[in-house]
Amino acid sequence: MTEHAHALARHRMERAASTLAQARLLSESHAWDGAVNRYYYSAFHAARALLATRGLDSGKHSGVIALFNLHFVKTGIIQPAVGRALVRSFEKRQASDYADFAEVSEEDARRVGEETGAFVQACRDVLEAQQGDPSA
């Protein structure tokens, strides 16, 4: 992996951590729809961090999700149960941001938060393992 790819992956993971912190603040304020939005984006940035390690990206959210699933979930690098958080948080965010009369419950927001927190941590663990391996 090139130094540029390392730097890009680290930057994206920092964005994931920052966005996750924003989501938690929104959740503490009971702003459930905003929290779900930021939870999804934390997972999105973490997924793009790992994709950067492979020189991959997409201009579409669905493309990022598909590439992540292909290169990290289907290969067993990320467990399928953890990887599903990216898809579920995307679906919840889409509904809460765009559907008429959509409301996010506290339970939904907390579940998305737990899942995306585990997802971001799993991505961070993979990234740290890769960056510690000179052959990665």
Domain that holds residue 104: 3-132
Number of domains in the chain: 1
| Nearest C-alpha neighbor of 47 from the set 38, 57, 37 | 57
pLDDT of residue 135: 46
Stretch 46-61: mean pLDDT: 97
pTM over 0.85: yes
Check residue 88 and give its pLDDT.
97
Per-residue pLDDT band at 133 (split at 50, 70, 90)? low
79: pLDDT strictly greater than 70? yes
Residue-averaged pLDDT of the chain:
95
Determine the Cα–Cα distance for residues 27 and 31; give it in Å rounded to an integer.
Answer: 6
**How confident is the model at residue 134, as a pLDDT?**
46
CATH number for the domain that contains residue 43? 1.20.120.330
